[in-house]
Amino acid sequence: MDQLSEEEARKIRILKAVVIGLGILILLALFTLVLGLALGGKSSDEETAQQINTPSRDVPFLADNLEIPLPLPEDATIQEMDIMGNRLALRWRAAGDDRDHIWIIDLESGGVLRKLTQP
Residues 37-60: tens digit of each pLDDT: 888 765 566 666 565 555 555 555
- Cβ neighbourhood burial of 91 (10 Å; 0-12, 13-18, 19+): middle
When divided into structural domains, the chain yields a total of 2
Whether residues 64 and 112 share a domain: the answer is yes
Whether residues 80 and 63 share a domain: the answer is yes
Residues 20-36: tens digit of each pLDDT: 999 999 999 999 999 88
Whether residues 31 and 71 share a domain: the answer is no
Domain assignment of residue 9, given as a range: 1-54
Whether residues 26 and 1 share a domain: the answer is yes
Whether residues 109 and 63 share a domain: the answer is yes
Whether residues 32 and 71 share a domain: the answer is no
Handedness of CA 98, 99, 104, 109 (dihedral sign): negative
Q: Per the confidence metrics, is the pTM higher than 0.85?
A: no
